[in-house]
Structure 1
């Protein structure tokens, strides 16, 4: 019995020793498969410290829990994420952040709405000069418009006018239209350009608050005026029959050499009318004189001085019969002023006699 008990005890002790040796061998082999890292330092749960503090704009974040070979969740972060500065996890996260930041900074107007519409052209005011009678295209390139709308407005001293909304034209002027140019240019087209088209044009987005770019349009137009023989600008001029009509058309700010054309009542001049012209191309000025000798009532009408269909000036001429001695002259420099020709001498004498007789009677009656 004693020998049997001793054998049992020795057998149990041997089994324990074998189990211990097997455990140690298994642990060593598992450590080599993990790259030589001791298990307690290799796997942990909690915070994944991808960097040192907040350096590089990347903050520490909570990492997912991992399981140990025994199936138990670990409670500490893996050391290679913390100490390995060249770890792919940290640098990959940081490079993605930097790439996103770079793209957002390259986009125009990035600070005014990350995903909203933006103008591809500078938002500061620009200026455009166009000759009278020409055409003008005002660009408005908008990126990421989405569900917003592009609106064109014109602002002048007399108020603000709505021109277009989207691709629809709201202006009653047929010269104004919207001509969309692929991929994102909402161009406003005006042709032919007239002098009243001067002003500030706004391309506005229907955002909140609204955003707009401004374009100042200047129309380059020559200046025309008609002056009489005294050099005064006139719109209406009165003459007696038999007198000579002398009108001079002065044109300044000429962009290109131009020829002055006179017409009467939108037709050719009568045969007896003569015109002479003097041009100074260097100074950008020219003038033409119109002369009508021995004027009659048939010479009354509208005389027009023009250098193009867009640049002209008109003057109304009235020729009165000899029986109608009253003449009224309307000049732009002096407004409207009336004058009566001096009466004949006999009428002056009669008025003097009658006036003196009346005053004499009045004097005696008072005495």
Structure 2
């Protein structure tokens, strides 16, 4: 059974004497900038804790110097072929590294500002002094959908998982396929598009040769917009 997100299973008492690195605290705190606290029941800020916990949070709020994640969207939906960003925010990073990992094959895509994958569609975006580390995916395919993990090289490692959904837009014209009208009257045609972001490429209407205008009223077309959300 895997370890729950944001938690880790601490080693046994016998393992603690040899397995724990110097920067790992024995109490409820995970990582502190000043190293371990004096006693096994101490918090990283020096205060006493009444008992140890079996599964401490990987980003305890009361630990000074511990890295923690910022609130960013963890479920992202994009149409096929439209570039998308997964944004991971980390405070109190210090000299630790941030890596993006694809969960289905545990492939390390980026670390800090460096891109390791040979797939040119994936790249790391980061501005100096910014707490946000971005995995950029150009021209995403349906096969790119899945879970991605933003991992911080703390001891123990902390992570946040992101779900990317890639959808294929589909257009449907509502109503009957054939419409009989009086010459000179108005005709409204509604096209419903599923799976397209509001800022996606504008919709193009084509008038096929099968559409013929007759009568003295001539013909013309006027387009309107009534889209909401991802349907338009």
Higher helix share: 1
RCO higher in structure (CA 8 A, sep ≥6): 2
Q: Point out the structure with the larger strand share.
A: 1
| TM score, norm. by length of structure 2 | 0.47
> Looking at CA atoms only, which structure, 1 or 2, has the larger radius of gyration?
1
